[in-house]
Structure formats: C-alpha cells, structure tokens
Amino acid sequence: ATPTAVMVGTGVGASQGVLIKGGQALESAQKVNYIVFDKTGTLTVGKPVVVNTRLFKNVALRKFYELVAATEVNSEHPLGKAIVEYAKRLREDEEDPVWPEARDFESIIGNGVKANVRNKEIIVGNKSLMLDHNISIPIDAEEMLMEIEEMAQTGILVSIDGEVSGVLAISDPLKPGAREVISILKSMKVKSIMVTGDNWGTAKSIAREVGIDSVIAEAKPDQKVEKVKHLQASGYTVAMVGDGINDSPALVAADVGMAIGAGTDIAIEAADIVLMKSNLEDVIIAIDLSKKTFSRIR
Ligand code: ADP
Ligand code: MG
C-alpha cells in the first residue's frame, strides 16, 4: 500500500472509532488468524452486579455486608466495586454510609482481599484464597458455587474469623453482539480463545454462551503472554483483545494488540489499536480495513 493509502485507512478507522497507531498495525491486522480474548470487560460488559447472597451463619444481611464492604472499599477490582455498590443499596436509608475501619488490608492479586474489621478477620475471594488460609469450605457452599458457575456468574466466598459465612453471586453479562462477532470470525477462518483469571466453572459457562471452544481459566498475567507466544511459535499471527492492567504484557507480545477503549490507561498505551467504542464488532472492522487497504496493491 502507498503511504497515502495507509493514511486514508488510518483516517477511515479513526472516523469509526478504531484508533490505529501506525502503518505497521494496520498492515498486520489483515494477517491475524488467531485471537486471544480476555473475559471480564472484553467479552463481558465489565460492570459486575451482585445478584444473590446466601448466608451460612446466623448473621443479619446488613451486618454481613457492612463487614464485607469495609474490606472491599479498599479494592480497585471491579468485583470489589460491585460488592460495595450492593452494600450501599442495602443502606439507602443512610445518606452516605460510612464503613467501619479496616485494619491490615491486603489485596491478593487474582484471588481476593482481606482485612481486620471490628476485630474480626474478614476474607473475601475465591476458593483458592480460602484454602490458602486453611479455611474449609462447607458442602452447601460448594454446591452453591457450582450452581452459580453453571449460570455463568462468579461466586465469591466470605469468611469471618476462619469460617465461611456467605457466598455472593456476581453477574457480568456478555456484551450484546459478542456471540455474533465470534461466529463471524469463525467464518473468516480466524480462531478464538478466551483467557481469564476467573475460575474454570464460570469461564466455561461464559465461553459456551459466546461460542468459544477453547478456554484457559485461573490464568495469571504471564500465562496470557505465554499463550500468545505459544500460538506465534505455532505459526499463527496473533491478536490479543483486552482491557486490564493484567492484559498489557500480552497486548505488547501479540502481533496486534487491541485495547477496549473503556479499559485501563495502561492497556490502551500497550495496544496497537484502540477500540474507542468498546464494541467487539470493531475487531472485525479493523481486520476488514486492513484487508481493504493492503489489497489495493495486489
Ligand atoms: P478477571 O480476569 O476475571 O478480572 P482476576 O485475575 O482479576 O480475574 O481475579 C480472579 C479472581 O480472583 C476473581 O474471579 C475473584 O474470584 C477473585 N478476586 C479478585 N479480586 C477480588 C476482590 N476484590 N474481591 C473478591 N474476589 C476477588
Ligand atoms: Mg478484563
């Protein structure tokens, strides 16, 4: 393609909210035949909401959520924000609820949070976080987790002083059109895989809903990079689509990194292409634009 064609292609992209950072990115996009998708905030809306709570101990819902919110209010994680939002709604009678002080707050990346609130040790997170603290998970809680994951929701355990006291179900639905995008990519002979930090049960249910056959769950950020590199070594031209700080190394490693516009600044900086409207359809727009620009000289 001539420099003018590249300029035109980049301009057309920009006018549609697909920000292409340079000619190399525009050229590589047409060759993409494997796409690694992050889950939360990429395939899903990314605004999780608490939809159900089950308590196992004799504790009032309001009191329970006061302890949990006091812990999670220190978290930057979307799940933490969802929990605090819910706790606030339980206290709509108060103008701006003040949570009790949390001491020794700790965020365990990819697992959850813990703190000391009202002299109680509060731990909020996934199963492995409980097991790491030698907290046993009652059968009722295990069963509830399975039901939650089957519905493509995320189950969060709450332990108070070493005992699982409640399970929260958090829902983060698929973006509208996500399923269609995956199916169109399939027809374009582009393979898709989902890589997420969330648990296997939820990840598989979401993958089934969106129509992705290949899943890696409970993945740490370097596993996202490893997957990208592994696919490249197998001869694929790989795009990564993500929104989180966790995704940034994989966005850099990919042949084409695509960041969701509503994502974190770090992901947007790491990417070659930014999907300003945060729509998944724009993944296809970017590939099409690249094909149109670079087929002119063939
Ligand atoms: P994702 O890619 O889904 O955003 P993360 O790696 O950020 O996944 O987190 C993985 C898992 O760790 C979550 O699904 C959740 O179970 C647990 N987790 C992380 N942060 C929190 C938090 N602030 N509160 C409760 N659980 C959390
Ligand atoms: Mg994400």
Ligand 1 touching residue 111 (CB < 6 A): yes
- Helix ranges (DSSP H) in the chain: 3-15, 23-29, 61-72, 78-89, 127-132, 139-150, 178-187, 200-210, 221-233, 248-253, 265-270, 281-295
Q: How far apart are the C-alpha atoms of 249 and 244, rounded to whole Å? A: 10
pLDDT-derived band at 298 (thresholds 50, 70, 90) equals very low
ipTM given for this complex: 0.95
What is the number of structural domains in the chain? 2
Q: Which atom of ligand 1 is nearest to the CA of 111?
A: 12
Residue nearest to atom 27 of ligand 1 (CA): 112
Mean pLDDT, the chain, whole residue set:
94
pLDDT-derived band at 296 (thresholds 50, 70, 90) equals low
Ligand 1 touching residue 112 (CB < 6 A): yes
Least confident interval from 12-16, 94-98, 106-110, 214-218: 94-98
Closest residue by Cα to residue 8 from 292, 272, 279: 292
Query: Is the same domain home to 136 and 60?
Result: yes
In the predicted structure, residue 220 carries a pLDDT above the cut 90: no
CATH number for the domain including 219?
3.40.50.1000
Query: Is the same domain home to 24 and 36?
Result: yes
**Closest ligand to the CA of 132:** 1
pLDDT tens column, 48-84: 999 999 999 888 999 999 999 999 999 988 899 999 9
Ligand 1 touching residue 80 (CB < 6 A): yes
Average pLDDT of the residues in 199-228: 95
Query: Is the same domain home to 58 and 38?
Result: no
pLDDT tens column, 79-128: 999 999 999 999 988 888 899 999 999 999 889 999 999 999 999 999 99
Using the mean position of ligand 1's atoms as its centre, give its distance from the Cα of residue 198 in Å. Answer: 6
Q: How far apart are the C-alpha atoms of 199 and 176, rounded to whole Å? A: 23
**Closest ligand to the CA of 167:** 1
Ligand 1 touching residue 126 (CB < 6 A): yes
**Total residue count of the chain as it appears in this document:** 298
Query: Is the same domain home to 184 and 286?
Result: yes
Domain termination site, one of 171, 200, 230: 171
Q: Which atom of ligand 1 is nearest to the CA of 38?
A: 2
Residue nearest to atom 17 of ligand 1 (CA): 111
Q: How far apart are the C-alpha atoms of 20 and 1, rounded to whole Å? A: 16
Task: Provide the whole-model pTM.
Answer: 0.88
**Closest ligand to the CA of 224:** 1
Query: Is the same domain home to 69 and 140?
Result: yes
Q: For residue 92, what pLDDT is reported?
A: 85
Give yes or no: 38 in active site: yes
Counting ligand 1 atoms within 8 A of each CB, the residue from 79, 107, 129 with the most, and so the one to mutate, is 79
Query: Is the same domain home to 179 and 291?
Result: yes
Domain range for 31? 3-46+174-295
Ligand 1 touching residue 278 (CB < 6 A): no
Using the mean position of ligand 1's atoms as its centre, give its distance from the Cα of residue 197 in Å. Answer: 7
